[in-house]
Homo-oligomer: A and B are copies of this chain.
Amino acid sequence: MLPIAVDAMGGDKAPGEIVAGAVQASEELGVPVLLVGRPDEIGDTHGLEVIEASEVIAMDADAASSVRTMKDSSLVRAAEAVRDGRASAMVSAGNTGATMASALLRMGRIKGVSRPAIATPLPVPVKEHPTVLLDAGANAECSPEWLVQFAQMGAVFATTRYGIQRPRVALLSIGEEPTKGNPLVKDTHKLLATGSWIGETGAVFVGNVEGRDLLADEADVVVTDGFTGNVALKTLEGALRGIGGALIETLTGTPEARAASEPLMPALFDLYARLDPETTGGAMLLGVNGVCIISHGSSSATAMVNAIRVARDQVAADVVGHLSRAVQTPA
């Protein structure tokens, strides 16, 4: 297997935690890893190969112009490594927009794909597997036909990533009835309801779901435009943080509460970790001609190990080949 190219410079904790995670993945999982970035900042690679890149795209930089002008950036070089057959996949915890732009411009799209979409797994307490939300932010404006492709790609991902053979695909709306929603959702519902898009994906269209169903056992894949998807994803993150913070305050606000809650803390931290999107191994950009894993900006070494494992698994599962066949089915 070709190595996984890891953007050593991307993420709030780069390069320290990123490199540590890459080394750990290589040693513990036996995954071949390539580091991309500035050798002097990467430091000790523990024997991992390095592709030099002199520039770093900042977390808050404008994505399109950065990728256009910073041709020797770690993100662009990582995407080129996949394009050139030096790597089988890329992983970055850096600037999400620039990661998408690098992958799209250097790897190109899978033939037949209108627009790549970000598929983000949402941890759901009552389900064995996360629910895949897409598009989680790649395309702020979408057409019904693109959303149908997102359904196809999301279904493939649910199978290659979680082994779900007949993924339940739902459309995010503001009511269960097909007549509810904005024009995009109503038109998309009609296309999805025909079922002609399903092809080899084995998907089952279960109709509309609402925001409250994102953490329920209603669907395996939830399709939406990138604006709505990003709002929903960030709202979930904010809710977890807000509720978690208020909970900690309640459990530690008085000496009595602190004493009572102390033995419960390990289980509560476990629960938080289980609900934290960071633990899912990162989102995947579906539709580019290669495996591209987008990790959370705050990724730790452990999160990177998870992301590298997911990248390896998706390469092994030939997700790109499956996506390519899925999108050949007309909507």
**A interface with B by C-beta (< 8 Å):** 124-126, 137, 140-141, 172, 174, 180-183, 185, 210-216, 224-228, 230-243, 245-247, 249-251, 253, 256-257, 260-261, 263-264, 267-268, 270-271, 274-275
In the complex, which of the residues B211, B212, B261 contacts A260, with contact meaning CB atoms closer than 8 Å?
B261
Contact B238 A215 (CB under 8 A): yes
Contact B243 A240 (CB under 8 A): yes
Closest chain B CB from A19 CB (angstroms): 28
Closest to A215 in B: B242
Contact B238 A216 (CB under 8 A): yes
CA of A216 to CA of B243, assembled, Å: 11
CA of A51 to CA of B50, assembled, Å: 79
Contact B235 A211 (CB under 8 A): yes
In the complex, which of the residues B185, B228, B242 contacts A124, with contact meaning CB atoms closer than 8 Å?
B242
Contact B261 A235 (CB under 8 A): no
Contact A126 B242 (CB under 8 A): yes
Contact A181 B260 (CB under 8 A): no
Is chain A's binding surface mostly helix, strand, loop or mixed?
helix
Contact A260 B263 (CB under 8 A): yes
Residues of B contacting A124 in the complex (Cβ-Cβ under 8 angstroms)? 242
In the complex, which of the residues B141, B180, B233, B249 contacts A182, with contact meaning CB atoms closer than 8 Å?
B141
Known: A182-B227, A227-B182, A231-B232. A238 touches B260 (CB 8 A): no
Residues of B contacting A264 in the complex (Cβ-Cβ under 8 angstroms)? 250-251, 257, 260-261, 264
Residues of B contacting A210 in the complex (Cβ-Cβ under 8 angstroms)? 230-231, 234, 238
Known: A174-B230, A247-B271. A182 touches B140 (CB 8 A): yes
Contact A215 B231 (CB under 8 A): no
In the complex, which of the residues B172, B238, B257, B267 contacts A212, with contact meaning CB atoms closer than 8 Å?
B238
Contact B257 A267 (CB under 8 A): yes
21 A–B contacts from the bound complex (CB under 8 Å): A125-B245, A126-B242, A126-B246, A141-B182, A174-B234, A182-B225, A211-B232, A211-B233, A215-B238, A215-B242, A224-B231, A227-B228, A228-B228, A232-B232, A235-B235, A246-B274, A246-B275, A247-B247, A251-B267, A257-B267, A264-B264
CA of A226 to CA of B228, assembled, Å: 11
Contact A241 B215 (CB under 8 A): yes
Residues of B contacting A125 in the complex (Cβ-Cβ under 8 angstroms)? 242-243, 245-246, 249
Residues of B contacting A235 in the complex (Cβ-Cβ under 8 angstroms)? 211-212, 214, 232, 235-236, 239
CA of A261 to CA of B257, assembled, Å: 9
CA of A176 to CA of B251, assembled, Å: 33
Identify 5 new A-B residue pairs, CB closer than 8 A, beyond the known A174-B226, A215-B243, A235-B236. A172-B231, A211-B232, A212-B235, A231-B231, A260-B260
In the complex, which of the residues B211, B234, B238, B275 contacts A243, with contact meaning CB atoms closer than 8 Å?
B275
In the complex, which of the residues B181, B250, B274 contacts A267, with contact meaning CB atoms closer than 8 Å?
B250
